[in-house]
Every structure is written in C-alpha cells, then in structure tokens.
Structure 1
Amino acid sequence: MMSAMRTPEGVTVTLVRGDITRQSADVIVNAANSSLLGGGGVDGAIHRRGGPEILAECRKLRASHYGKGLRTGQAVATTAGQLDARWVVHTVGPVYGSSGSDPSLLASCYRESLRVADEIGAKTVAFPAISAGAYGWPLDDAARIAVETVRAARTAVEEVRFVLFDDRAYEAFAAQLG
C-alpha cells in the first residue's frame, strides 16, 4: 500500500505500511522517550536494529547538552548505526491526557525533526506516527496534526515518508492526505 501528495513547498509526502526500521532514508525519526536511552515501541525497535552506536551517541548527548533529557517537542540527531539511513533524529512526543497533551507540542516534533534534517542536509525523512502508540494520542488527531504540520513546513527535505505499522494507522493518515 502506498499513497502520495505534494506540499505547497514541493515536498513529496508518501505513506507506507511497514516497519520503520526497514526503511532506506537519509533520516529515520525515532519517537524517543526523554531519556534518549531506548524504550519500547518504535524507540526500542530503532535501538535494537540500529545497534549500540545509537545508544553510545545518545549517552554522549546526555553527558553534555541534554543532562536532564530531551524535552517534549525537541529533536536531535545521532548516527543511524546499522539502519539503512545516515542519521536517526530523536524527538519526544507528548503523552496524551497529561500536562503535555498540547497539540502544538506534537506539531513541534515534526517541525523540529525537519529543522534538524535540514541542518544535516537530509533529503528523505521517514516518520512514525509520533505519540499515537504507547503515548495514547488519538490516531485520527495524531494523523491530522502530522500531515498538516508537514504540509505547512518550509524545508529543503524532498520526501517525507510516514511509515505506518498497521492498516488502521495507514488509513488514518491516508484520510488526511485526501
């Protein structure tokens, strides 16, 4: 399954049903937790498949600039280790229903990830559905925020790929591309 559209800025936005750790892209975005030290879901899968190099760089970040962890809505790049990518951009999505369930924080994850991708010269970026899993953000709303934010972004990235793990997520994102 695949759907596509172009943004006003000329970015091709595609949807893919699959495993983000199997994507070939300049950047694979990690829906990280604030510790940057791995976790469950997409975060754990990226750390497992990418290997110890990713965790080693995350530990260096924690020892220097991010001693208290990465704040919700921010993004930072590391090596991609053994993934078929040049970099992993880690971003911390908000947990729905807590004090961090402000939609602007979820939008910031996408904007900041694209800003970091621009800084490192990436042309292709693969995103998961940030906050739509364990962090409990309602899937339809998460898809709307993701697609609207990418559609409005000013970026040099040429392709944004939303990599959706199941049919339900794919359909929610496809409805937003319509």
Structure 2
Amino acid sequence: MDARTPPALNAGNIAEDAAPHAARRAPLRRHESFGEILYRRRKELGLTQSVLAARIGVQPNYIVYLEKGERRPSDRTVRRMAEALQLDAGDLFLAANPQVREFLRLDQPPETRNAELPVGLQALIEDTETCVRMGVTEDEIALASQLRLSGRVTNARQYLALILAMRYIFS
C-alpha cells in the first residue's frame, strides 16, 4: 500500500449509504451560484417564492434575497432547501459555501491534489483502534487528504476533529 491509499477500515462506506438518496435528487450544474440554482430549480418545480418559503419555514422576502445572492443561508436552511427542491444537500451546501469548494479543491483533477498523506493524517490511519472506534471511513480519509490545510492541522487528533466536524456539517 502506498502513502496515498488509506488502509481498509472496519466502517461503513459513505458513498454506499448515500446512493439511494442521490438517485432521486436532481443534478446541479457546475459553476452555478446558490441563488441561480435556487431560482432555476424553483421554476422547474413550478413553485412560487411564497410556497417555497412556507415549505422551509422562512419569509418569502428571504427567498428573494437568496436568489439574488444578497444573503447567505444557514446550514439548516440549506438542508431544508435541498429537501424542498429535491437536490443533494451536500452539493447545495457547496454551492452556498463556495469557499468550502475551493478549500476542498473540488474543481481540480485528483492528480493535482496532495500527492501523499500529511504526517498527522498518516498517524491517524495507523491508529486503527481509534479509526474503528470512531467509525472513520476511507472516504473521510480521502476527503481529509485533499484539504488545503497549510499547517493548520498537523496531528492525528486534529485530523480526527476535522473529520468529525465534516460529518456534522454534511449530515
């Protein structure tokens, strides 16, 4: 096994768990802003701003602000919006938070991302007891290895905290 390939961990696979939900979700178009996605999908579903607002528990004028890009939605609003518009919550979260997309380097080809695992992440992988106990998956390790952390996260404990925070955000 090379330094880029995390060992198999005794935990579930995020992609397999998400597959049934992804099949019923409408795809997002690359490089659309959150407001553009919201407007396009609302129109595709034939919803008024008032109806959508009622479905997610906000005022209609808030939908106007979101569509114009004048407000940034909370994570909770993004989740509700994704459900109401039948969109993938993770994709919609990334559209609402373009700085996260840049941070994760999702627009770059995989070969230009980190060539080898950082020392702290490698240490976490080698601590299989903690990984199994915390249910750390290969997908989470792969995602953490792609982050631009620039020395902000340096040890196994910090990487574990980062993975747990990502779970919370994307759940």
TM-score normalised by length of structure 2 = 0.32
| Structure with greater strand share of residues | 1
TM-score normalised by length of structure 1 = 0.31
| Structure with greater helix share of residues | 2
